[in-house]
Structure 1
Amino acid sequence: MRNEETLDQFSPEQFFGKALVVDCRDLKEGQAITIDKINIDKAKLADFLLFNLG
């Protein structure tokens, strides 16, 4: 078993910031999320990328 941290082990303060939501609802199950789904200019301004899979 690997000794890795899980999300509940991080402080909530680490999850505050600007997020960009990437709409991936049109993808089929198992289909890759490719770079063309992401607005690079907006992503550069974000602290987090959130992927909306539906």
Structure 2
Amino acid sequence: METKTKQTYLNKIMTAITFAEAGDHETAKGVLEQANTRCHRLDTRVEKRKAMEL
């Protein structure tokens, strides 16, 4: 995972923790799902780019 992707993912996790601590568990769950989806898409793009370089 690229550094920018890792930082984005960590920021989303921290946001989700903040919502969870405030008692808004549905929003926390949504934020984590969004982070997982986004990071999966970015990882897929990176893999495709690396495959094209070979």
Higher strand share: 1
- TM-score range for the pair, normalised by the shorter chain length: under 0.3
Higher helix share: 2
